[in-house]
Amino acid sequence: MCARDIRRDFPILDQEVNGYPFVYLDSAATSQKPSQVIEAVSDYYRQDNSNVHRGVHTVGTRATEAYEGARESVRSFIGASKTEEIIFTRGTTEAINLVARGYADKHIQAGDEILITQMEHHSNLIPWQQVAKRTGATLSYIPMEPDGTISLEQVRQSVTRQTKLVAITHLSNVLGTINPIADITKIVHAHGGVVLVDGAQAVPHMTVNVTALDCDFYAFSGHKMCGPTGIGVLYGKRELLEVMEPVQFGGEMIDFVELYDSTWKELPWRFEAGTPIIAGAVGLKAAIDYLTEVGYDYIEAHVAMLTDYAMKQLRALGGITIYGPEHRSGLITFNLDDVHPHDTATVLDSYGIAVRAGHHCAQPLMKWLEVTATARASFYLYNTTEDVDRLVEGLKNAKEFFGDVF
């Protein structure tokens, strides 16, 4: 297998942008979708579309089987022990908000502490600010090392008996830092707290086994791992989901409804009010099948090779600041000296190269880095070393263009 064969699975890459072959280096924002996923979603609508868990007709049964089959596929993919521990959500953000409202609001009170890090994406930061405001709990931060990593020593010093919940990213969307979740979980559990992991960036790039990590909640999105937008997953340990309250009410999630009171369905459906994201789940299953077939060994090795290659090329370019630790996964956040990242991104776009520029939904981290914005190139299984060469060429042009002016 090679990157060239994989590229053929992604029809969007076969186009020109601004007169140049398209180079997509923004997979950390959202990944592209292979034909296998696009067709699975399309086939579902063409052949199996019906509502799930209701009615007795044949096509409805097929839709239910497809939806629940996707849940089983997710369970096995992330190594959860029980299918009812898999809740479908709209994405990582909704999954984290569900835990914040449904679990944290009930089980955290004034005097308790919620512990997070300054490298969190806004989606794993603002929900906890809000829980702290609603409950009177304290929100604290585990200090980061100067290279943008979290040391276990700092974790040990930060976690106390008051720490009821630690929410942390598995893989930083800005720094590329991979956090030692299994070790962190051990420390937090020893003090009686629970751990929620934001896996939005990790799941696309590495084998994740929630049982081995022993985390209590794990959230991720389909769209960053070759799946459709609008589908995500909350994994939660059964005993915690049992004491979590639904935050959305309506059809599909109820057991008995009377005039003034109702009871809820068993797990996981009590957290999936309304017609669920059926086509999204079907697409997510297709994405899991696709990534599994390509193989995470290949994906990890290929992305690591591209990242190393790009790091070397960018350093050789000179006049560039790269943020984050040496050991990183899949992305490089950087700034060209004296060129604002928007300007860098506009120049690259004029050569058909898509990178992200801005604060990457991580304003507190930008403050820590002492910048207002950065550019970010992120790699995935369909990228090639030619893509990196094009990036480097584009950055040379940006330097020359802005260098001419100054």
Question: Pattern 373-392, binding to another protein, x per CB under 8 A?
Answer: x-------------------
Distances (CA, A) of 153 to 113, 114, 196, 309: 19, 18, 20, 32
Among 39, 289, 300, 349, binds another protein (CB under 8 A): 349
Query: C-beta of 366: minimal distance to another protein in Å?
Result: 7
Contact 378, 29 (CB under 8 A): yes
Q: Which one, 290 or 334, has the nearer CB to another protein?
A: 334
Among 351, 379, 380, 382, binds another protein (CB under 8 A): 351
Q: Which one, 43 or 349, has the nearer CB to another protein?
A: 349
Does the footprint of another protein cover residue 365 (CB under 8 A)?
A: no
User: How far out from the chain centre does Cα 173 lie?
Assistant: 8
Among 1, 342, 385, 386, binds another protein (CB under 8 A): 342
Q: Which one, 298 or 401, has the nearer CB to another protein?
A: 401
Half-sphere exposure of residue 225: CA atoms within 13 angstroms, side-chain side: 37
Stretch of residues binding another protein (CB under 8 A), selected from 128-136, 175-183, 184-192, 346-354 = 346-354
Does the footprint of another protein cover residue 363 (CB under 8 A)?
A: yes
- Residues 280-319 within binding reach of another protein (CB under 8 A): none
Q: Which one, 134 or 396, has the nearer CB to another protein?
A: 396
d(CA 163, CA 328): 28
Task: Single out the catalytic residue among 2, 215, 226, 361.
Answer: 361
Size of the site for another protein (CB under 8 A): 23
End-to-end CA gap in the chain: 46
Does the footprint of another protein cover residue 19 (CB under 8 A)?
A: yes
Stretch of residues binding another protein (CB under 8 A), selected from 24-32, 111-119, 188-196, 351-359 = 351-359
Give me the residues paired with residue 331 across strands: 378
Does the footprint of another protein cover residue 346 (CB under 8 A)?
A: yes
Among 33, 224, 328, 359, binds another protein (CB under 8 A): 359
Q: What is the chain's Cα-based Rg? A: 22
Query: C-beta of 231: minimal distance to another protein in Å?
Result: 24
d(CA 303, CA 308): 9
Among 79, 340, 364, 403, binds another protein (CB under 8 A): 340
Query: C-beta of 367: minimal distance to another protein in Å?
Result: 10
Q: Is 2 a catalytic residue?
A: no
Q: Which one, 171 or 366, has the nearer CB to another protein?
A: 366
Does the footprint of another protein cover residue 228 (CB under 8 A)?
A: no
Contacts with 197 (C-beta within 8 Å, 6 or more apart), sequence order: 167, 168, 169, 170, 181, 213, 215, 217, 218, 219
Amino acid occupying residue 238: R
Tokens of 10: 């992604």
Of the candidates 379, 377, 392, 395, which has an alpha carbon nearest to the alpha carbon of residue 333? Answer: 377
Does the footprint of another protein cover residue 368 (CB under 8 A)?
A: no
Stretch of residues binding another protein (CB under 8 A), selected from 79-87, 141-149, 349-357, 383-391 = 349-357
Tokens of 119: 């490298």
Query: C-beta of 402: minimal distance to another protein in Å?
Result: 8
Residue found under tokens 């801005």 = 358
Q: Which one, 278 or 347, has the nearer CB to another protein?
A: 347
Of the candidates 108, 352, 121, which has an alpha carbon nearest to the alpha carbon of residue 244? Answer: 108
Does the footprint of another protein cover residue 394 (CB under 8 A)?
A: no
d(CA 184, CA 214): 10
Contacts for 128-131 with beta carbons within 8 Å, 24 or more apart? 128/100, 128/104, 128/165, 128/167, 130/100, 131/100, 131/104, 131/105
Does the footprint of another protein cover residue 400 (CB under 8 A)?
A: yes
Number of alpha helices (DSSP H) and beta strands (DSSP E) in the chain? 15, 17
397 membership: H or E segment, kind and range: helix 385-405
Strand order across the 113-117 sheet: 86-89, 232-236, 217-221, 194-198, 163-169, 113-117, 138-142
Residues serving a catalytic function are 361
Residues that bind another protein (CB under 8 A): 18-19, 340-343, 346-347, 349-351, 357-359, 363, 366, 372-373, 397, 400-401, 405-406
